[in-house]
Chain A
Amino acid sequence: MNIIVCIKQVPAKDAPLSIAGNWIRESDIGFEMNEPDSYALEEALRLKEKHGGEVIVLSLGPERVKQTIKEALAKGADRAIHVADDQFAQLDPLGAAKVLAAAIGKEKCDLVLTGLQSDDHGFGQTGVLLAGLLNLPHATIIMQIELRDGKMKLKRELEAGWFQYIECPLPAVLSIQSGINKVRYATLKGIMAAKKKEIATINRESLGVTLEPTQRIERIYVPSKTKKTEFLTGTPKEMAAKLVEKLKFDARVI
């Protein structure tokens, strides 16, 4: 079972964002593995531990994404492909998927995993687009993968507390739901082992993908407020007392 896991590096959760054009200023902030993708990586590692094979990490982005790739290798991925692209933030969802699909097309794999969405653009389309471009069956919002007789039985999360089992052949593309598993930490041994693992870097241009953007982010901005928030100030005790008074006498909810 050879599995490719697509991983994106995104701004750290607590990073203060300052907008620059239709992206953010990258110079003063930290980056980390997109959290939904960490669940996809963990699921790939568990499948490999159970069924054998190889886990290949695929990431698109500038030089800085190597740090996240190394983290994935330290957790147990076997090797990595880095598609180097300084302009990746300007790609539309289809463009990014075309680049990833071209890189995947060069490998032999049984399964492609993605997280459900990224914490930066949040397009939430990559896995489904990859399936379309690679002409593979797919399923999304996966909470469980069972491999049997060369097929998968998958548990999909639906809305309002509903779930559904579906059967899906291999090869396929799956978008993994966050919370499907408990993500491991890299061990010291893993970090040492990762130093010897291969990171193949390819340029986006060398993949020969023709980009025809279908959409453009014209600008990004801090959304205007829909409600007027009354901010309470003082010491914690004073703020708590003020809040209770407001809730009792103004909002009348307690």
Chain B
Amino acid sequence: MKILVIAEQRQGKWNNTSFETLVAAQQIAAATSGNIAAVVIGKGVATLADELANKNVAEVLLVEHDLLENYTADGYCSALAQVVESRKPDLVLFPHTYQVRDFAPKLAVLLGKGMVGDCTGFRKEADKLVFVRQMFQGKTAADVSFIGAAPWFASFQSGAFRTDLLQAHPGGKAPVNTAKVELKAADIRTKPLELFKEAKASVDLTQAPLIVAVGRGIKAPENIAQAEAVAKALGGEIAASRPICDEGWLPMERQIGSSGQTVAPKLYLALGISGAIQHVVGMKGARTIVAVNKDQNAPIFEIADYGIVADIFEVMPALTEELQKAKG
């Protein structure tokens, strides 16, 4: 199977999920006796292409143009459609990043194809590839296969493949080839303006060893104090899943998940969090995960080391008391 991997960079810096997707591509190539071309797209990104050439790929394709200096969906779709049409891959793989969500489905539809997004794995079954993704907020998994002729488009979720499995090039270096694309300024309908960060966060959750996080189960803003009491007794930081921050019950800087912080503390105590994938990608690296939830089927229990199936409003005060005792 001929695989094209679209690596992602912004202003010369990699999005590291690109390397995870390259691992996925290497495993699919191994399972299908295929080969990989890795695509670097932008302007002035030859050094990044050179870096990719050290990995186990058949070639690196450098796609450069003045109009690709800053990301636009129209620019990327037009350029990559030309690359796909000229190289005729069977499978086009992307890291499932915010940027990929923004353009990859459009690229596929421009070529009359569909995309399977946000996959967590793949399986080879007889002569077909099956992609695994989550549905119903992580409560179920789904096996999805492509119908119709190649090329097929798929993206892999952050954390789905381990980068320590990335294979270096066996012969030293893969060739870097330039793929010429033609773009017209008039075809790019949106205009990217400044990139910025919001006011500096007053807390850096990525450095916190102990985190107590609340989800929808907390029900009302006045109940947050009970979770804060647990955090205080533990000596940890309070955090939350997205809906809590969307409601303004805790500041956005305390949000854990794909659109917030990614953390890997010693202890992550999840109170009333169901464990939707968007949240789990931000905390599954925690050393010890404790989940308290009244729904025993909540997906958070799939990754928890310790589970308590109960009403958080009964557990929180008891836990605060026991922690205070233990800390003496």
Contacts and interface: CB of A to CB of B under 8 A. Distances in A.
Interface of A: 11, 13-14, 16-17, 19, 22, 24, 35, 92-94, 97, 119-125, 128-129, 131-133, 137-141, 153, 157-159, 161-169, 177-179, 182, 212-223, 225-227, 229-232, 236-237, 239-241, 243-244, 246-248, 251, 253-254
Q: Which 5 A-B pairs have the closest CB atoms?
A: A214-B114, A179-B246, A137-B189, A132-B109, A240-B318
A216 B195 contact: no
Given A124-B101, A131-B106, A164 B196 contact: yes
A111 to B, nearest CB: 14
Q: Tell me whether chain A's interface is mostly helix, strand or loop, or mixed.
A: mixed
B267 A13 contact: no
B2 to A, nearest CB: 19
Nearest to A93: B114
B142 A239 contact: no
> Most B CB atoms within 10 A — which of A120, A166, A217, A236?
A236
A221 B189 contact: no
A230 B306 CA distance: 5
Contacts, number: 253
A157 B290 CA distance: 30
A120 B303 CA distance: 21
Interface size class of B (residues with CB under 8 A): 35 or more
B240 to A, nearest CB: 12
Contacts of A225: 302
Contact of A167 (B98, B190, B252, B318): B190
A243 B248 CA distance: 30
Interface in B106-129: 106, 108-110, 113-118
Given A132-B110, A159-B98, A164 B145 contact: no
A239 B322 CA distance: 10
A174 B189 CA distance: 14
A153 B138 CA distance: 34
Contacts of B101: 124-125, 128, 140-141
27 contacts: A13-B216, A22-B142, A93-B105, A122-B277, A124-B101, A128-B102, A140-B101, A141-B102, A157-B259, A162-B196, A165-B194, A166-B190, A179-B245, A179-B246, A215-B144, A216-B146, A219-B142, A221-B142, A223-B140, A227-B304, A229-B302, A231-B309, A236-B310, A243-B306, A247-B288, A251-B288, A253-B210
B222 interface: no
